[in-house]
């Protein structure tokens, strides 16, 4: 069947196209690179003609207000309208686990509005909330970003690889619409501060990491439930340590952070 991937040239989209084609689908990437612009509506009708499903994995170029809100509102409205005109049988939108709890963040507020648009539309849908990607965890503290101690939240996270999330999305695209929320999560739970410290070790970055519950993440303060699934979730297989060793260190062994260092313990307040 024909499945259109909005944002098909991005991080998740490129993996998703691969998984859909492996399953025998006619997977069509729709992005500005292929002449389709969800923000303006350019090329959408042509791209969606004859499509059984649309999977929206677009992401905003800016996470700041008001740009991020305008991006998701306009692009989602245009995609849903084009999907309705094309008679699409299944509309899937990728969102983020924890979105309802992070409304002090401009980005997550915009994602909540996107979810509301999808839920209210006439096109049969599935809202898919995924936990944070391993790829994002690696970029929380870029190498060479400073010399002083690093403050990070000790909140629990259950991240997954973008490739694994794409595989689950490909499977959901061939299923019936749930008209509800489905969550996807990785196989292990970590503390965000410990996980990022593990990444820093991989980059030979020995700065002190301070577990600080007041440190914001995308403009919001996290609590223990924010970045983990609310209930049952589709569980991916790839473990973070294996992913990190293969993708970042080229197979070089790195230590697992079982416990925070003494400085982290001394400053932890949760």
Tens-level pLDDT at each residue, the chain (270 residues): 999 999 999 999 999 999 999 999 999 999 999 999 999 999 999 999 999 999 999 999 999 999 999 999 999 999 999 999 999 999 999 999 999 999 889 999 999 999 999 999 999 999 999 999 999 988 888 777 778 899 999 999 999 999 999 999 999 999 999 999 999 999 999 999 999 999 888 888 889 999 999 999 888 899 878 899 988 999 999 999 999 988 766 655 555 444 333 233 323 323
Helix locations, 155-231, DSSP H = 162-173, 192-202
What DSSP string runs through 53-79?
A: EEEE----S--STTHHHHHHHHHHHHH
Conformation bin of residue 43: beta by default, left when phi > 0, alpha when psi is -120 to 50: left
> In terms of Cα–Cα distance, which of 183, 6, 31, 166 is closest to 83?
6
- CA 141, CA 143: separation in Å to the nearest integer? 6
Domain ranges of the chain: 2-133+160-185
- Decide yes or no: CATH 3.40.50.300 for domain 2-133+160-185: no
- CA 92, CA 177: separation in Å to the nearest integer? 8
């Amino acid at each position: 069947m024909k499945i259109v991937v909005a944002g098909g040239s991005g991080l998740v989209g490129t993996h998703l196209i691969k998984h859909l084609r492996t399953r025998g689908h006619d997977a069509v990437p729709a992005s500005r690179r292929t002449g389709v612009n969800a923000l303006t509506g350019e090329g959408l009708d042509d791209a969606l003609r004859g499509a059984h499903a649309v999977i929206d994995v677009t992401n905003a170029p800016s996470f700041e207000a008001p740009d991020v809100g305008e991006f998701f509102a306009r692009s989602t409205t245009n995609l849903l309208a084009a999907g309705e005109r094309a008679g699409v049988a299944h509309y899937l939108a990728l969102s983020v686990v924890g979105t309802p709890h992070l409304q002090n963040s401009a980005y997550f507020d915009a994602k909540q509005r996107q979810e509301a648009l999808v839920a209210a539309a006439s096109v049969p849908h599935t809202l898919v909330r995924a936990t944070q990607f391993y790829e994002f965890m690696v970029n929380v503290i870029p190498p060479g970003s400073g010399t002083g101690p690093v403050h990070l939240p000790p909140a629990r996270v259950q991240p997954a690889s973008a490739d694994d999330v794409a595989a689950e999305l490909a499977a959901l695209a061939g299923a019936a619409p749930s008209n509800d929320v489905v969550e996807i999560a990785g196989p292990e739970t970590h503390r965000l501060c410990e996980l990022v410290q593990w990444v820093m070790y991989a980059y030979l970055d020995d700065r002190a990491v301070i577990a600080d519950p007041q440190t914001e993440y995308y403009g919001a303060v996290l609590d223990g439930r924010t970045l983990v699934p609310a209930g049952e979730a589709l569980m991916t297989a790839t473990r973070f340590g294996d992913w990190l060793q293969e993708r970042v260190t080229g197979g070089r062994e790195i230590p697992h952070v079982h416990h925070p260092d003494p400085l982290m313990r001394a400053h932890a307040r949760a």
